A and B are shown apart, each in its own frame.
Chain A
Amino acid sequence: MRSRPYTRVVAVAAVAALTATACTAQSEAQHKSKQKAALFKPGSEISYQKYGKSYPATKVKDGPGPCSYESISRKDYSGQTLKIISHAVPVIGEPTQLHAKQFEEITGGKVEVVNVPFGELHQKILTPLQAGQPAYDVMFYPSLWIGDMAPYLAPVPEEYLNTPGMRDVTQSYMDVATWDGKVVQYPVDGDRHYLKVRTDVLKDPKWQAEYKRATGKDLKVPTTWAEYQETAEVFSGKDFDGDGKKNYGSAEVTKRDDLTFSAFISRAAPYVKNPKVKGGVFFDAETMKPLINTPGFVRALEDMVKAKSTWAPGGANFGLGDEIFSFGGGQTLMSYSWDDAFIQAQQPDSKIRNTVQAAPLPGSSEVYNRTTKAWDKKANQAAYFTWGWTSAVAKASSHQEMAFDYLCFFGNEANTALDLTIGRFGVNPYRMSHFDPAFWEKQGWDKDVAEAYVKTLSGMEENPNRVFDLRVPGVNQYMSALANGVAAALAGQESPQRALDGVAGEWAEITDQIGKDKVRSAYRNVVALEDKS
């Protein structure tokens, strides 16, 4: 417990405010590192084992470059304190803490981490930033908030952009981290939604026969949402793993104030992202008229309402964690969301290890064309680059060198390699080098599982028909309105069309409130990424 001299705090606040406005003064206020002897030899073996039994025994080699254990341990940050806010433990919160602890050990600096539940993170970060209160140096948050955060973030300095690790980050994730031509977010995670299925069931002749009997079709990994629904319906309510308990078809994130909006966008992507139509998926980038109530989105919501019958008990109130428990625990046949559920299912102690497979999100047999106002009858597939975790350094921070060193240490090759294998960490492939089946096989994954996984992920990088999140200021309001509409339809309070009409109305209001031009210029950046290909 320390009681501070308040005058000093006020002074610091004033200084911080000054630095925020006058960037020239910034360098004087910055704390710098000193040099010391390295604690690691280049290429040392790195393992998390000493931090407890809950970490795998995997060992990796320390990589080269300025972010490595060896390089960072040359820095001396004693006497400096870094303040970090991150998501709740374990998802991204646990690696934040773990790397903080390591960073303290090798640099002598002090790192304080707070962990905050998802629903609170946005305002907990933004309120002090807006109030000019230098609360945190480093912030971990979902990358789609960039529109709200960007004005308060320090751009990543040149020397960090030129590290081998950063150069290896895929173009999509560099794009996601860029605002107004500057890289303001430090990529630490790559995220996308994809489909997960139970191969033990899909490959079981008995179930294949049963499926054939029920539908007249061959049982395979669904490639459209219609097939997904068909498959889910057949298996819902059956005990396909023979443990005496009923199993179900699909697990999805449906809890209103959880991450439902992302699940819905996943379902909508193939219906709404027409490769022939440019200029925005959520809005018409010219007029800023919301497109959320157009037939493509309505179709997706109708699908989702239909899917209710294939959900496990409680499936209509699943948060991400429930979804992961449900699929990862073997209760459901299929699921789609982030990597977490898949990695969880592939943990060494998992009951369904190597009986799961990753596949691209289902597509559609037709896609809506908003220019012709008609459905284009052709198979369509869209890669939805769902937001993932990202990190950034506050412009007002007076420990920027330490902050960026921490982040570059967090994401160095050795740490990332280890983090990727721990499902609960929520760190997922975002560098080209992560798309290597050999690495996953080394973790004990079956060859075909590893290959399908890597192919799914890298395939998304190659898909030119891409959907990005609505990365504009006020994104939370838009997504909150969307989630309300989706929840109302799922709860049967309103028809999908009416619900989305309501959302469109709210979106228009939100846009007016924030300022049409502000939103438009931000949204154009998103559209540029989508249309670039």
Chain B
Amino acid sequence: MDGLRRHKGMFLLPGLLTLFLIIIFPLLFTIRVSFSGWNVSNPRMDFIGGANYTAMLHDSRFWASITRLILLAGGTVLIQYIIGFGMALLVWREVRGRRFWRVLFLVPMMTTPVVMAAIWQTIFHESLGPVNDLLGMVGLTNVPWLTESGPALVALMTVEVWQWTPFMFLLLLAGLLSLPREPFMAAAIDGAGTWRTFRKVTFPLMAPVSVAAVVIRLIEASKLSDSVYVLTSGGPGSSTETPGYYLYIQGLRDQQTGYSGAMSLAYLVLMIVTLTVVAALLTRAFKLKGAS
């Protein structure tokens, strides 16, 4: 196809340029604004040098939120992957009501995160919600879901797992359904059991899908903020703040545009580097697993 150089631009450029044009202004704007003292009462593009960046280095809330995000995103994505893969395997073959389960398991990802978070807030409501009520019925005490940092993190992760496991489920189920049959027959002839078949055949074959699904989920999970916003407002104290939510507080609610610009850029660079490294590591890890 190398003979068609003249045409390749025709395909790529409309999309690339569109995205570039839409994105370039915000990016330049953010870079420029990060060197300004633009805030709510002084919305001007003045120049204050690197003051915002210096302030950011000393902003322990920001750095704490990044550490927290790594745990939250890593943890939820791992849980989503395990459950998503498990469910995909269970409804992959030979199960009654297969179509019903599949549709049901897809639905949460179709819902609006902010809206569902509001519903979850009522579910975790410590005195009026059903979770504590049901726990009470089986004789357990009230859990301070949204008022203590441990349970609040669990609540957040629950919401994230609920919302996005279907995404994993979809990608992994589609992956499973497109697997060739031959290796399974071979494994069956070899007399491999369920677990061995999974470990030696299914899992290695699913490695590419798995890497893609995990990476894309990590990207999305890194923006985690809607559910924080609605459920805990980052509380108690600042113990459930994520960078996304902290940026929102600084940049939009308090309109510290300049400062949030600096943080955004730092965050963006950090995320791109982290995710690239993670993606590379995952690819290698899965390849090794697949080869063994």
Contacts and interface: CB of A to CB of B under 8 A. Distances in A.
Interface in A144-169: 148
A26 interface: no
B236 A316 contact: yes
A257 B234 contact: yes
A315 B252 contact: no
Interface string B212-226: 000000000000000
B276 interface: no
Given A313-B142, A493-B237, A119 B127 contact: no
A229 B253 CA distance: 34
B255 A493 contact: no
Contacts of B42: 513-515
Interface string B251-269: 0111110000000000000
B145 interface: yes
Given A257-B253, A491-B149, A484 B132 contact: no
Interface string A132-143: 000000000000
Interface string A100-119: 00000000000000000001
B125 interface: yes
Contacts, number: 105
Contact of B132 (A313, A329, A490): A313
A473 B132 CA distance: 42
B243 interface: no
Given A314-B126, A513-B39, A518-B41, A256 B235 contact: yes
A148 B42 CA distance: 10
A122 B254 CA distance: 9
Contacts of B239: 491, 493
B232 interface: yes
Nearest to B118: A117
A131 B45 CA distance: 13
A488 interface: yes
B259 to A, nearest CB: 10
Nearest to B55: A509
Interface string B25-42: 000000000000101111
Given A123-B255, A316-B144, A477 B40 contact: yes
Interface residues of A, number: 40
A47 interface: no
Residue of A131, A477, A514 with highest tally of chain B CB at under 10 A: A477
Nearest to B250: A480
A326 interface: yes
A41 to B, nearest CB: 45
B147 interface: yes
A389 B126 CA distance: 29
B253 A122 contact: yes
A50 B83 CA distance: 52
Which of B39, B125, B146, B147: most chain A CB closer than 10 A? B147
A261 B16 CA distance: 47
B41 A514 contact: yes
Nearest to B124: A314
Contact of A314 (B40, B145, B233, B252): B145
Contacts of A491: 149, 235-237, 239
Nearest to B252: A123
A148 B149 contact: no
B278 interface: no
A326 B254 CA distance: 29
A493 B253 CA distance: 23
B254 A477 contact: yes
A216 to B, nearest CB: 31
A309 B133 CA distance: 21
A281 B239 CA distance: 30
Nearest to A329: B128
Contacts of A80: none
Interface in B115-157: 125-128, 132, 142, 144-149
A123 B253 contact: yes
Contacts of B37: 513
Interface in A435-456: none
B255 A312 contact: no
B127 A331 contact: yes
Interface in A297-319: 312-317
Contacts of B146: 314, 317
Given A148-B41, A313-B126, A488 B238 contact: yes
A40 interface: no
A126 B255 contact: yes
Contact of A326 (B41, B127, B144): B127
A488 B64 CA distance: 14
Contacts of A515: 41-42
Contacts of B255: 122-123, 126-127, 476
A316 B254 contact: no
A317 B229 CA distance: 13
B252 A325 contact: no
B56 interface: no
A258 B234 CA distance: 11
Contacts of A484: 238
Question: What are the 8 closest A-B residue pairs judged by CB atoms, nearest first?
Answer: A314-B126, A491-B237, A313-B126, A257-B233, A491-B236, A316-B147, A317-B146, A317-B147
Given A256-B234, A312-B126, A474-B40, 15 more contacts: A131-B43, A256-B237, A313-B127, A313-B142, A313-B144, A314-B145, A314-B146, A316-B236, A477-B39, A487-B235, A487-B237, A493-B239, A513-B41, A514-B39, A515-B42
Interface of B: 37, 39-43, 125-128, 132, 142, 144-149, 229, 232-239, 249, 252-256
13 contacts: A119-B253, A257-B249, A313-B127, A313-B144, A314-B144, A322-B125, A477-B39, A487-B235, A490-B237, A493-B237, A493-B238, A513-B42, A515-B42
